[in-house]
Amino acid sequence: MDSLRPAPNSDFLVNKKRVRVLGLSFDDAVKIFFGGNALVSVIVLALITYFLFQEGFGFFGQNHRNLLTYRQAGLEYVDYIRTQESAHTALTRYLSDLRLRQFNYATLEKNISPSAANESLVAFDDFAALYGDAVEPLRGLVSELTEQSTAIKTKFLVAEDKRVERQQLTTEGKIAEAAAVKIETVDFALEVKALTGTLPAYKELAAEFAKKLDAALVTAPAMPTPELKNRLERFRQLNSDFIATFPATTRSLETWDYTRAVPWYQAFSAFLFGREWLTASFWQDWYGIVPLFMGSLMVSLVALLLAVPMGVGAAIYVNQIASAAEQRFIKPCIEFISAIPSVVLGFFGIAVLGQLLRWLSQQDALAWVPGFPFSERLNILTAGCLLALIAVPTIFTLAEDALQNVPKAFKEASFALGATRLQTIIKIVVPASLSGIISAVLLGLGRVIGETMVVLLCAGNRIAIPDFTAGLAVVTQPVHTMTGIIAQEMGEVVRGSIHYRALFVVGLGLFFLSLAINFLAQKIVNKYRISIG
Amino acid sequence: MDIKTSFNSSSSGRSIPVTSSPVGPTLIDIDHVDFYYGASQALHDINLKIEEKKVTAFIGPSGCGKSTLLRCLNRMNDLIDGTRVAKGQIKIRGINIYDPSVDVIELRKRVGMVFQKSNPFPKSIYENITYGLRLQGRSNKSDLDAVVEKSLRGAALWDEVKDRLHTSGLGLSGGQQQRLCIARAIAVEPEVILMDEPCSALDPIATVKVEELIQELRTKFTIVIVTHNMQQAARCSDKTAFFYMGKLIEFADTRAIFMNPANAQTEAYVSGRFG
Amino acid sequence: MSALNRHILQSQPSAARRWEAAAVWLFRSATYVILLCGALVFGTIVFKGSKTVFTTTAPFINVAFFTEAPESLYVFEYQGQKREMGDREFRAFKAQHPDASNVKSESYVYSAGGIFPCIVGTVLLVLGSMFIALTLGVSAAVYLSEYATQGRVVTAIRLAILNLAGVPSIVFGLFGLGLFVIYLDWNVSLIAGWFTLALMVLPVVITASEESLKSVPKGFREGSLALGATKWQTIRKNVLPYALPGILTSSILGIARVAGETAPIMFTAAYVVRDKLPWEGLTSVSDFFFQGVMALPYHIYVVSSKIPQNEYTERVQYGTAFVFLMIVATIATSSILLRNKLRNRYKW
């Protein structure tokens, strides 16, 4: 029947002539353009990974060479003896502490005048001096050896530089100049012999040292109280423990061999588990991430400890309790706090909060707080407080979202059974939104651990593992952080140097840490989402 | 067209499901179509001829595939991921609209659509009507003015809105909005207008107006309407197709479907026993 | 209590009620302590900073602070009078008073003059990076919301956006250093800073844009397509115009973030001090893009960490922090207000 009635324009459905370039219509091109832009995020993520790896990758090789030089130039050998010396220094510090206690006992409990107290301690001072001076010969040896091995290392590094120079000249085609570069080869065997040759002298010194220590200890005066007596006894114990380590040290020195290879994994383990981050030192550079990681961790913990109760509490209040008018006021305010730039918060920490906290800590009424009073105004606590202010809006917003997603029916059912508001919140609303709240906390942690300016300005920037023996007072110690060290040192390092690459590896660590936190947060949200239905 | 749905139970045991009696020329030929959403089959072997300048109603319970089939007719289903016509052809004037050479844009210009929820653009009434024309590059002011008036008159809306053509289309009442959408569709002069439950969101008075409009439009356009409301199908369609579970159960003159259904399921549905 | 007044639903004090009251107060105080802390930070900086920024005499604003470059401050005693002078002024003074040529003076770096170059630098950084971020971000969002079909590529894109949002800003700084500054050899420059900052806010812009696009009803798209519009015509005429206000509003929050970040520009764009303004001393157009700039956040970092705190340096420290905070706060507030307005306006 169709054929009887020819359509007015029966070819209307057939493709019209649309402009095509490379087989693509205009619409296809638009789609590809947008799709390409969407791919940028994937590309960026890949590029970040690539460049962090590219710049950081050489670190482990360089660190391996660094550790190898440490051994070959005999620095390791010297450090064995140096350890002994510093252990002795720790013991003398114990003695000065003991003196302070005796002094305090005399002045405070016995009400003896300070000068008289000092006089009564003359015998003890003599003993302490004797004990302290015993190390002098050993110290002399250490400084002598230090000079020698530093000289070896410098010689070696200069030779390496020359070698690089020659290679550069060769690749540039300047053969003659390259040949003119003089490279002094370092004969480690010969150089190191000068160090190891001191072994008999050391043995003598050590034996004498032990004798002197024991002899000094005999002169120790009696202590006035049982408590102090115990401390002196403890000191005797420490002393004999110290002397007991002498044979081990000697053995280490005897068996030390500069030719022993440094296993490749030590380049990694020295970074991952290294307890020292020491750069631009005349002696030996160490790149251990532990103090920085601990710093970041401690600051983040303090921040979360403050921010989680506040943020979640506020979210519960705003979502479940507050009136509509209050909500309209509080939400924008907290959003506003999130807009305060971190560098301004950091400045606030330096200018106001640090001093305020120190002043608070010095109030007598607050002396019972662990760690109070403290003298460093920039420390874990100061940075943690400010980071809490950064984390709170993140935690608040996400936790509030999670609470909002709890179906109203749950709440109504609970109320209908006669539960109070608090019971409903604790037993129904919070459990139902728990996964959301936990991921909010995790994302808050991610925000805090990646924050740079506040910790750079307010954490105190002392590169050391916090002293956990101080108990809770640990939070009043200054630390340095992973983000802070990058920001602080990246501007000053030579491109391509081991230090520069180490900073990139720290960045790589931060990057993967943030990815892991993100991943975990998503996992938790996805896993428990079903529970709400 | 004053067929009342009488529930006579003169059921017939005839096994032929399709009892069409074509009187007009076929415009759309749906030829043994299978349709899938991903892995699940939504339409099974649909075979149906839609006649020119007639109102064809698709009825059936929710999820029976009637809207799916309707959206196949202007390929709106292309917008949904994972949909495909696995078998068969849909031919308009003998041209398979799923053929790769077919320009879907041209197709949609010729096969207009009115949606369940009225969806005027948040523009003025005038801009709503001229949207389709401007897409085609027509911008002559007097030309457009004429089309706007013609379309609005065609949609029986002109008298109500002629004084406020440049106010937002969202300011109209629900029934007016739906008629605006119809006017917008007829402005581009399609041959077919597909209506996907056009009255389901309207109150009874607005529904009557839209139904009256459909009666007027049938002289110029071929109309396919999906409806939940059996009275509506009875009132305003010439032919009715009953779908169930993705299958076409019966297709016949509306009068026949409601007065004398050939199939027991059809009878059960039109008499309100299920659905 | 008389039997008349008692009934079975009589309200009675109970342990549960007391707990509830206590908990409510606990939650309430947590909320208001947060607001108090925010107010304390804000208040201190506004209070102390306004002393630098405003003056008691007309025009009531410290014009020099906004129009001059930072210079060193010299404090010295001359003829029994304590005087404070900026670098240039001090030299002129010494030229005028030969007897003052070897007067003893203390100098405080950056503590005199103003912060004009920093404001200029920050404005340039924000404008450029937001232009890049919006171009990339809106197109990516259009793809994800309008074109993308479920598949591996889209899953990868979404995952990447989600993870990119959590990457610390200092890592973006390192990345910018590695890619733009070193590999592409752009050096420390505006353009390196633009790209670093733009990539950092990209997830924010994409997420915000996609949300705005998703909130445009499906009917607009179907209606347009059913009238024979191509996909691009539909997006350009019937989707983007309605999503754009939302996109821009949400992106303002991204601007606040770009303006506020220090770590990413430390190695990529910021100079501690630069005596030329960005438009001075250019020999070609490309010079403009390949120059480093001073920036407010970095200047705050420098003045708060590299110079001691005392009555002379405090002025510039608080003043800079105040100006910076005000800029960011204005951006953030306008974003919040605009969004609330938008919410009320568009209800389809």
Q: Per-residue pLDDT tens for C10-37?
A: 777 777 778 888 889 999 999 999 999 9
C255 to chain B, closest Cα gap in Å: 29
How many residues comprise chain C?
A: 348
Report the C-alpha gap between A70 and A93 in whole angstroms. 29
The beta-carbon neighbor of A347 closest among C143, C164, C321 is C321
The β-bridge partners of C86 are C73
C176 to chain A, closest Cα gap in Å: 9
User: Per-residue confidence at A15, pLDDT binned at 50, 70, 90?
Assistant: low
Structural domain that includes position C171 = 116-345
For residue B16 the two structure tokens come to 């032929």
Inter-chain touch B113–C150, beta carbons under 8 Å:
no
The β-bridge partners of B37 are B40, B83
User: Per-residue confidence at B140, pLDDT binned at 50, 70, 90?
Assistant: confident
Report the C-alpha gap between C6 and C235 in whole angstroms. 68
pLDDT of C4 reads: 56
CATH code of residue A295: 1.10.3720.10
Report the C-alpha gap between A453 and A509 in whole angstroms. 18
Residue B114 phi, psi dihedral angles, 5° rounding: -120, 135
User: Per-residue confidence at A512, pLDDT binned at 50, 70, 90?
Assistant: very high
- Same domain for C177 and C306, yes or no, is yes
Give the pLDDT mean for A285-301. 92
- Same domain for C76 and C193, yes or no, is no
- Going C102 to C105 to C109 to C113, the CA torsion angle's sign is negative
pLDDT of A19 reads: 65
Give the pLDDT mean for C229-237. 88
For residue A265 the two structure tokens come to 């994994």
Alpha-carbon B79 to chain mean position: 18
Asked if A477 and A508 touch (Cβ cutoff 8 Å), the reply is: no
- Same domain for A489 and A452, yes or no, is yes
pLDDT of A528 reads: 65
Q: Is the pLDDT of residue A345 over 50?
A: yes
pLDDT of A451 reads: 92
Asked if B70 and B111 touch (Cβ cutoff 8 Å), the reply is: no
Q: Beta strands B222-226 and B55-59: pairing type?
A: parallel
- Same domain for C224 and C279, yes or no, is yes
Q: Is the pLDDT of residue A24 over 80?
A: no
Q: Per-residue pLDDT tens for A448-484?
A: 999 999 999 999 888 888 888 878 888 889 999 999 9
Name the residue with higher pLDDT: B140 or B18: B140
Give the pLDDT mean for C160-184. 91
Q: Per-residue pLDDT tens for A296-338?
A: 999 999 999 999 999 999 999 999 888 889 988 998 899 889 8
- Same domain for A520 and A377, yes or no, is yes
Q: Is the pLDDT of residue C313 over 90?
A: no
The single-letter DSSP state of residue B168 is B
The mean pLDDT value of chain B amounts to 84
Asked if A278 and A285 touch (Cβ cutoff 8 Å), the reply is: yes
- Same domain for C94 and C237, yes or no, is no
User: Per-residue confidence at C345, pLDDT binned at 50, 70, 90?
Assistant: low
Dmax (CA) for chain A in angstroms is 132
Q: Per-residue pLDDT tens for A46-93?
A: 998 898 888 888 888 888 888 888 888 778 888 888 888 888 888 888
Q: Is the pLDDT of residue A442 over 90?
A: yes
Report the C-alpha gap between C173 and C195 in whole angstroms. 11
**3 state DSSP class of A178:** helix
Whether A271 is covered by a domain: the verdict is: no
| Nearest one of C198, C203, C169, C175 to C298, comparing CA atoms | C169
Q: Is the pLDDT of residue B2 over 80?
A: no
- Same domain for A385 and A524, yes or no, is yes
Q: How many CB atoms lie within 10 A of CB C308?
A: 7
User: Per-residue confidence at C347, pLDDT binned at 50, 70, 90?
Assistant: low
pLDDT of A313 reads: 94
Q: Per-residue pLDDT tens for A237-268?
A: 888 888 888 888 888 877 877 777 788 888 88
Q: Per-residue pLDDT tens for B71-95?
A: 898 888 887 878 888 888 898 888 8
Asked if C27 and A317 touch (Cβ cutoff 8 Å), the reply is: yes
Name the residue with higher pLDDT: A491 or C192: C192
Q: Beta strands B26-37 and B40-51: pairing type?
A: antiparallel
Give the pLDDT mean for A186-207. 79
pLDDT of B122 reads: 84
| Nearest one of C90, C141, C114, C72 to C322, comparing CA atoms | C114
Among A31-40, A499-508, C87-96, the least confident range: C87-96
- Same domain for C153 and C276, yes or no, is yes
- Same domain for C198 and C82, yes or no, is no
- Same domain for A171 and A189, yes or no, is yes
Residues 65-84 of B with CB under 8 A from C: 74, 76, 79, 81-82
Whether C335 is covered by a domain: the verdict is: yes
Please check whether residue C155 touches B, CB under 8 A: no
Q: Is the pLDDT of residue A411 over 60?
A: yes
User: Per-residue confidence at C174, pLDDT binned at 50, 70, 90?
Assistant: very high
Inter-chain touch C228–B188, beta carbons under 8 Å:
yes
pLDDT of B119 reads: 85
pLDDT of A42 reads: 87
Whether A207 is covered by a domain: the verdict is: yes
Question: Is residue B84 left, alpha or beta, with left meaning phi > 0 and alpha meaning psi from -120 to 50?
Answer: beta
- Same domain for A179 and A87, yes or no, is yes
Report the C-alpha gap between B238 and A293 in whole angstroms. 79
Whether C268 is covered by a domain: the verdict is: yes
Q: How many CB atoms lie within 10 A of CB A358?
A: 20
**3 state DSSP class of B225:** strand
- Same domain for C169 and C79, yes or no, is no
pLDDT of C252 reads: 80
Percent of chain B exceeding pLDDT 90 equals 14
The β-bridge partners of B30 are B48, B90
Question: Which residue among C52, C83, C113 closes a domain?
Answer: C113
Number of domains in chain A: 3
- Same domain for A131 and A47, yes or no, is no
Report the C-alpha gap between B63 and B47 in whole angstroms. 18
- Same domain for C75 and C158, yes or no, is no
B51 to chain C, closest Cα gap in Å: 21
Q: Per-residue pLDDT tens for A109-129?
A: 878 888 888 888 888 888 888
pLDDT of B3 reads: 40
pLDDT of C348 reads: 52
Whether C54 is covered by a domain: the verdict is: no
Q: Is the pLDDT of residue A369 over 60?
A: yes
Q: Is the pLDDT of residue B268 over 60?
A: yes
- Supply angle C-alpha C94, C98, C99, rounded to 5: 105
Report the C-alpha gap between A103 and B14 in whole angstroms. 118
- Same domain for C171 and C109, yes or no, is no
Asked if C171 and A507 touch (Cβ cutoff 8 Å), the reply is: yes
How many residues comprise chain B?
A: 275
Whether C46 is covered by a domain: the verdict is: no
Number of domains in chain C: 2
Question: Which residue among A263, A282, A313 closes a domain?
Answer: A263
- Residues in chain B with CB shorter than 8 Å from the CB of A1 are 22, 25-26
- Same domain for A121 and A174, yes or no, is yes
- Its pTM stands at 0.83
Give the pLDDT mean for C109-123. 86
Q: Is the pLDDT of residue A530 over 80?
A: no
Asked if A163 and A184 touch (Cβ cutoff 8 Å), the reply is: no
Indicate the helix (H) or strand (E) that contains A412: helix A408-416
The mean pLDDT value of chain A amounts to 84
Structural domain that includes position A20 = 16-56
Whether C287 is covered by a domain: the verdict is: yes
Among B229-238, C143-152, C269-278, the least confident range: C269-278
Inter-chain touch C336–A452, beta carbons under 8 Å:
no
pLDDT of A485 reads: 93
pLDDT of C332 reads: 84
Report the C-alpha gap between A193 and A96 in whole angstroms. 39
Asked if A284 and A75 touch (Cβ cutoff 8 Å), the reply is: yes
- Same domain for A211 and A348, yes or no, is no
Please check whether residue A182 touches B, CB under 8 A: no
Give the pLDDT mean for A140-149. 82
Whether C33 is covered by a domain: the verdict is: no
The β-bridge partners of B50 are B28
Report the C-alpha gap between A237 and C335 in whole angstroms. 68
User: Per-residue confidence at A392, pLDDT binned at 50, 70, 90?
Assistant: very high
Whether A280 is covered by a domain: the verdict is: no
Q: Beta strands A20-21 and A24-25: pairing type?
A: antiparallel
Whether C139 is covered by a domain: the verdict is: yes
Whether C293 is covered by a domain: the verdict is: yes
pLDDT of A60 reads: 87
Report the C-alpha gap between C236 and C216 in whole angstroms. 13
pLDDT of B274 reads: 65
Q: Going by C-beta distance under 8 Å and a sequence separation of 6 or more, which residues neighbour residue A108?
A: none
Q: How many CB atoms lie within 10 A of CB A445?
A: 25
Report the C-alpha gap between A527 and A278 in whole angstroms. 43
Question: Is residue B237 left, alpha or beta, with left meaning phi > 0 and alpha meaning psi from -120 to 50?
Answer: beta
Report the C-alpha gap between A361 and A376 in whole angstroms. 11
Chain A residue nearest residue C149, CA to CA:
A35
- Report the half-sphere exposure of C47 (CA within 13 A, side-chain side): 8
- Same domain for C101 and C123, yes or no, is no
- Whether cis (ω within 30° of 0) applies to the bond prior to A226 is no
Report the C-alpha gap between A42 and C164 in whole angstroms. 9
Asked if A128 and A135 touch (Cβ cutoff 8 Å), the reply is: no
Give the pLDDT mean for C110-120. 85
Q: Is the pLDDT of residue A16 over 70?
A: no
Chain B residue nearest residue A4, CA to CA:
B25
- Report the half-sphere exposure of B137 (CA within 13 A, side-chain side): 0
Give the pLDDT mean for A373-379. 85
The beta-carbon neighbor of B76 closest among C222, C233, C242 is C222
Question: Which residue among C113, C130, C145 closes a domain?
Answer: C113
Q: Is the pLDDT of residue A161 over 60?
A: yes
Dmax (CA) for chain C in angstroms is 101
Residues 164-203 of C with CB under 8 A from A: 164-175, 177-179, 182-183, 199, 202-203
Percent of chain A exceeding pLDDT 90 equals 22
Q: Is the pLDDT of residue A529 over 70?
A: no
- Residues in chain A with CB shorter than 8 Å from the CB of C325 are 340-341, 344
Q: Beta strands C70-78 and B55-59: pairing type?
A: unpaired
Give the pLDDT mean for A202-217. 82
Among A92-96, A136-140, A446-450, C120-124, the least confident range: A136-140
CA distances to C134, C157, C232 from A35, rounded to whole Å, are 15, 10, 13
Asked if A59 and A502 touch (Cβ cutoff 8 Å), the reply is: yes
Percent of chain A exceeding pLDDT 70 equals 95
Name the residue with higher pLDDT: C5 or A238: A238
pLDDT of A455 reads: 93
pLDDT of A17 reads: 54
The single-letter DSSP state of residue A262 is P
The amino acid occupying position C221 is R
- Same domain for C184 and C265, yes or no, is yes
DSSP string spanning C40-76? HHHHHHHHHHHHHHB-SSTT-B-HHHHHS-EEEEEEE
- Same domain for A307 and A431, yes or no, is yes
The beta-carbon neighbor of B81 closest among C150, C233, C348 is C150
The single-letter DSSP state of residue B164 is G
| Nearest one of A398, A417, A408, A416 to A521, comparing CA atoms | A398
